[in-house]
A and B are shown apart, each in its own frame.
Chain A
């Protein structure tokens, strides 16, 4: 269940950021160029996924594989957690895809658009880059969650649900929703990925977790408690945090 939640939230949030860029391109330039750029990035990411996952599973023994997976998840999880703590403490601006959407539109307005019969390479490149960069992170996170025994199905279910929801949201809204608590959701993803990372890295280093898979919940609780303490400590030194400000 934790794998489904982690994969779904991580993929949804990354896709949401990509969606903001693709929608900005579609609304400011031409929809066709935004879709072509985004689809090219999807093909690139799919090719990467086809290579990375099977290569890792077929070539690496189980103990080093757990260590590699754990290390990757720790890198992603701690980065998400670090940013979330700084945001919640008021030391960093809150995560806001709508703001990113507006900034991207502003950048595109400043670029000269080609004639109607010419390909808009600038628009395609921006859409491609927006999807490809977030897509690479999605591939790495889902591959890491899927690489453990029994992890493939829940990781793919989580990722598929997130993909379907985000695409549906994009088709319905035509612009990023403003009321999604992105900072809090990213905080949860950080906690989940860090817990998984610590768990797998531990298994790769010969640690026997006393409660089996349930140790993941204990780890999540420890990281939750520690991160709340860090938010409170850092927030005390920042007046904006006390007012729930966006720094």
Chain B
């Protein structure tokens, strides 16, 4: 049981904020891509949005520990 917990920590990390945050960020990105449709803005500018979403996840994962 302890080994399974350690394995989960190795794969998903020590906090649920990161896996949930990554899933949320990629979900939002996928939603924006679907909304963009054939419009080129996502293809050319989506990288900035994704990088910002990843940074938000990083900040959120630090928030609980820093409080």
CB distance from B53 to the nearest CB of A (A): 9
A230 touches B62 (CB 8 A): yes
Secondary structure class of chain A's binding surface, majority of residues: helix
Where the two chains meet, the residues of B that have a C-beta atom closer than 8 Å to any C-beta of A are: 3, 6-7, 10-15, 18-19, 21-22, 26, 29-30, 33, 42-44, 46-47, 50-51, 54-55, 57-59, 61-62, 65-66
B3 touches A209 (CB 8 A): no
A205 touches B46 (CB 8 A): yes
CB distance from A190 to the nearest CB of B (A): 10
Name the residue among B33, B54, B59 with the largest chain A CB count within 10 angstroms: B54
Contact sample, A vs B, 28 pairs, CB 8 Å cutoff: A75-B12, A75-B18, A78-B22, A78-B54, A78-B58, A79-B13, A79-B14, A81-B58, A82-B58, A83-B14, A85-B62, A89-B66, A91-B66, A92-B65, A136-B7, A137-B11, A194-B54, A198-B51, A198-B54, A201-B50, A205-B29, A209-B47, A219-B51, A223-B55, A223-B58, A227-B58, A230-B58, A230-B62
**New contact pairs (6) apart from A78-B18, A197-B54, CB-CB < 8 Å:** A136-B11, A198-B50, A208-B43, A219-B51, A222-B51, A223-B58
A207 touches B7 (CB 8 A): no
B46 touches A206 (CB 8 A): yes
Where the two chains meet, the residues of A that have a C-beta atom closer than 8 Å to any C-beta of B are: 67, 71, 74-75, 78-79, 81-83, 85-86, 89, 91-92, 129, 133-134, 136-137, 140, 194, 197-198, 201-202, 205-210, 215, 219, 222-223, 226-227, 230, 234, 237
Given the known interface contacts A202-B46, A202-B50, the answer about A71 and B22 at a Cβ–Cβ threshold of 8 Å is yes
